[in-house]
Every structure is written in C-alpha cells, then in structure tokens.
Structure 1
Amino acid sequence: MNQMEEFIKEHCRDYGTYPMVFDKNIGLDITIPNHPELKVAPPREYKAVIKITTFRGTCYEAVHYYGDIEASGPHLTIQEEDGSVMSISGYVCEEYQKMSKDKKALIDGRYRIEILRGVTQKEIDDDPDRWYGYDPGDSTNAFYSKSEIFAIAKKIIEYRFPGWEIELDDCC
C-alpha cells in the first residue's frame, strides 16, 4: 500500500463497498442477465461534491464541522416498450436482490464517503470529557475548521475520483 492509499484509509469511511479508485467506467459492465431491459447508465455528470455541515449555533457547545463527499455514479435504468428510458431504484427484481452488495454499491447512483481525521493527545488533554474513551490517532468525523475538511476532501477526490469535477456545498 502506498502513502496516498494509507492516507485514504485513515481519512475515509465509505458508505458502501467501494474501490480505492473510481474509474469513469466503473459499474457500467454490470448486467442482470435475465432482464435485458435493465441497463446501467453513466451519471449525467462526473461530479464529487464536498458537503460541509455543522451543529454550531443550534446545539449547545457544538464547535465542530463535518464533511462528506457525495460523488455521482452509474444508476440502473429500464427501457420501456415505447423506447423511453427511466431511472429505477428500490425493489427491481429477484435477480437484482440477490446481486452482491459490492455490485449494488457500484450502481446505486451515488457514492458517499465520510471525511475523518485522527484525534490528538492535545485534544484529549484539553477536553477529557469530550474525548473520553478516545486514544490519540482514533478516528473522528469532527473538525474544527471547514478549511481542514476541504483540504482533506480535495486530496481524496483527486486520488479516488480522477477527472471528476469538484464542487463545494458549504451548508453553514
């Protein structure tokens, strides 16, 4: 494992079984053999959005920001008899239900990754109640600044989603 992959593993919590790097063709080769009307379509645009949220100002003593990456991905479609194509989700068919979680995660329409960082000894010493039970280096999704989230997320996107457009959605 190279240094960048170690960085990724330390700073990401994937909400699916995802590869280390997302090629733009990923998932497009997945088929449901007994249902030729079901096809995997590429996303309309290849975009990875950095979403930053907080409870600051709405929750007593909240001082943290949180970050996720939501990236567009391929999705399942069905071609109707009149030739129109519609995106579908939910229950599709038994064959889809039996498909591995790994494959389903690739054609869910979006990928979600939570941004993490390691807790420091200084944080634990400065606020032992807040960090009770944590050891230095343990993962947390709580950041003190939006710029720290953005820097880490941008680095992750550039490695994991090569060629995707990067957008910032700063909800706070």
Structure 2
Amino acid sequence: MKAIVTITTFRGISFEAIHFYGTLQIIAGDDIELYRSITQTEIDKDPERWYGYDEGDLTKSFNSWKDIVIAAGDKAKEKGISLEEIFVEGIPNTGSLPYHEALKPIDTRPRCKKCGKVFESGEGCYNTPRGLFCVKCY
C-alpha cells in the first residue's frame, strides 16, 4: 500500500446537507487535501451557498464520497502512484477497501455490527465505540 484515501463527512444544520471531504495520504510522504471545481450549474441551483464564488473556483466540499475516490485516483496518477496500491477509508458503513472495490456499487446502509441487520429510517440502535448495534444484539 502506498496511499490511503480518507473520506470525512459533515452533516450540516441545513435540511439534508451532507458534505464530503477527502485527503490522499501518501505513505512516507505528503497528506494532500482534495479539491474540485465549482460548476455554474451548482451556483445557479444554490446561489446562497455559492455566493461570491465563480465557476471554476475550488472547494474542498464534494457532492459524494464516490467523487472523492475519483479525485484521489486522479491525484495519485499525477504523483505516479498505481491505483492498485491505494486503499479507501471512510465510505459510510464500510471498512477499508481497495481503490477499485470502492468504485463498485456498495451497500452503505447502516447495519448491526454483530448480526448484520439493516436499520430502517428512524429505527433505534446503539452507536458505540465498537460499532453500531441493534437493540437485540446490544
């Protein structure tokens, strides 16, 4: 392994506001913050959020974790790192994945760490340092 893509998420106070941020951590090297260009469509769709920005300005905020994986792959290629030597951490409700596995369709629904039960929206669960558990398994 030569690099790790680390994805972090932030759930804002706005309705359904989820922001994704990423870093490419090169082992025995640099930690590179990942950026993307803002599109005019985004500015037009949400002028309050993008007030003062112009098309092409850079932001650390990505629209999805998959966009971060792709951006990290592009940056790794620039640095001469093979995509086969990259792992991705921080995709919701998954562990560490090889780069190409992270681009495949992934079930990211929250589930019980012990029995694997998928939690429905609003269903109670226990979120512990050891992981997420259903009421039965906790």
Q: TM-score scaled to structure 2, two decimals?
A: 0.58
Which residue of structure 1 aligns with residue 87 of structure 2?
A: 167
Pair 1:122 & 2:23 matched: no
2-structure distance, mates of 1:111, 1:125: 35
Measure how far apart 1:151 and its partner are: 1.0
Gaps of 5+ in 2: 93-138
AA aligned opposite 1:64: H
1-structure distance, mates of 2:67, 2:43: 19
1-structure distance, mates of 2:52, 2:46: 12
- Over the matched positions of the two proteins, sequence identity in percent amounts to 40
Measure how far apart 1:154 and its partner are: 1.1
SS state at 2:47 partner: coil
Which residue of structure 2 aligns with residue 133 of structure 1?
A: 52
Which residue of structure 2 aligns with residue 31 of structure 1?
A: none
2-structure distance, mates of 1:71, 1:166: 9
AA aligned opposite 2:86: I
2-structure distance, mates of 1:112, 1:71: 6
Q: Which has the higher contact order (CA 8 A, sep 6+)?
A: 1
2-structure distance, mates of 1:162, 1:54: 25
Which residue of structure 1 aligns with residue 13 of structure 2?
A: 60
8 Å Cα contact 2:65/2:91 also seen in 1: no
Which residue of structure 2 aligns with residue 84 of structure 1?
A: none
Equivalent residue runs for 1:63-82 within 5 Å: 63-73=18-28
Gaps of 5+ in 1: 1-45, 74-109
Measure how far apart 1:160 and its partner are: 0.3
Pair 1:158 & 2:111 matched: no
RMSD: 1.8
Equivalent residue runs for 1:1-172 within 5 Å: 47-56=2-11, 59-61=12-14, 62-73=17-28, 110-163=29-82, 165-170=85-90, 172=92
